[in-house]
Amino acid sequence: MQPAAGPTLLGVDVIWFATLLSGIATLAVLVAIYAATTAKDPMARRVKALNERREQLKAGIVASTNKRKKLRNKNVAADRVRNFLGSFKMLQDDQIKKVQEKLLQAGIRTKDLAFFIIAARLIAPIVFGTIAVLVVYVFDSFPEWSALKKYGLVAGTFILSYKAPDIWLKNKVTKRSHAIRKGLPDALDLLVICAEAGLTVDAAFGRVAKELGKAYPELGDEFGLTAIELGFLNERRQAFENLATRVDLEAVRGVVTTMIQTEKYGTPLASALRVLSAEFRNERMMRAEEKAARLPAIMTVPLIVFILPTLFVVILGPAACSISDNLIK
């Protein structure tokens, strides 16, 4: 005798689906416990990255004075991936530059990772798509599904696996930009104080990075790197432009434009930064008010779906029971 099939919803076994969700929830709890018990110092890795960038800038200065010496670390794995993609004519300068810029905005300084992301766009659809085809059509794991559902699963696997590297990278850029946006007004206030105290621009950036490094590690990382570049690069304008490239925020571009103009025309830095700080604080307050204004519309659906049916059961339930008892009598 075959065991009785469990209840199904849209052709999917409810018990099997609930078991899968329980397994995912258990895995998430274990990952959360591991992350909470193995917390590390967030500044240690960033200080190491800044020191590596300092050494790279020093190497660049030495190489510019002696052009015959080219100091370059060759990543064997990256070279192999580059050659593999080059054999398929898949590497374009604009594409590589765009991915490397996204990596910088995500806080990843290794530019060779761009070749791995481009390779993942090619390999992931082949691997996961082949697995989906084998599971759905060869092994026939879902015999009760219609042809349209099977095709949708396979096509969705191909599309999602192709877009997965870009989605991962975009998510990291968005999170980092949001973290930097929160600390930018405080950073500008500290820059104003440092400028009025008589510190130079590179010293002011370094001081702000040190003071805000623990509260806003992403912002401290970017300001610390800008301070290093201001001290090593031949053109200070390039250091500010690099900051605007690494951070995908319009507010940071405004700060960079202000810094470049003050460097070029000699306008007072403190007054310009004070105006920018006030504007950013007003913008942050407006975003908070906008989120608060959207709450009633967002809460309408949960109110209708979850709260009102419960109220109807509580209020009308006793009356329905009384009517049923009277009818039975």
Q: What tokens does 192 get?
A: 């104003």
Mean of the per-residue pLDDT values of the chain: 80
3-state secondary structure of 9: strand
Query: Which of 86-95, 122-131, 137-146 is modeled with the greatest confidence?
Result: 122-131
Per-residue pLDDT tens digits for 53-67:
666 665 554 444 444
Stated pTM of the model: 0.65
What share of the chain in percent tops pLDDT 70? 83
CB 148, CB 115: distance < 8 Å: no
pLDDT at 308 over 60: yes
Per-residue pLDDT tens digits for 218-254:
888 888 888 888 888 888 888 888 888 888 888 888 8
For the residues 289-318, what does the mean pLDDT come to?
Answer: 83
In the chain, the N- to C-terminal Cα span, in Å, equals 45
Nearest to 245 by CA among 161, 158, 177: 177
Per-residue pLDDT tens digits for 265-293:
877 778 878 888 788 778 878 888 888 88
**What pLDDT shows up at residue 41?**
58
- CA separation for the pair 163, 158 (Å, rounded): 9
- CA separation for the pair 233, 241 (Å, rounded): 12
The DSSP output letter for 139 is S
Give the relative orientation of helices 76-87 and 113-133 as an angle to the nearest 10 degrees.
Answer: 60
CB 179, CB 216: distance < 8 Å: yes
| Residue 252, number of CB atoms within 10 A of its CB | 21
Four-point Cα dihedral 155, 160, 163, 169, nearest 10 = 180
CB 308, CB 299: distance < 8 Å: no
**What pLDDT shows up at residue 160?**
92
CB 285, CB 143: distance < 8 Å: no
**What pLDDT shows up at residue 71?**
38
CB 201, CB 269: distance < 8 Å: yes
- Over its C-alpha atoms, the chain yields an Rg (Å, rounded) of 28
Which residue type does 249 have? L
- Which of 16-20, 295-299, 301-305 has the lowest average pLDDT? 16-20
For the residues 74-98, what does the mean pLDDT come to?
Answer: 75
pLDDT at 33 over 80: yes
**What pLDDT shows up at residue 171?**
93
Where does 38-146 have alpha helices with state H? 42-65, 76-87, 93-105, 113-133
- CA separation for the pair 314, 263 (Å, rounded): 70
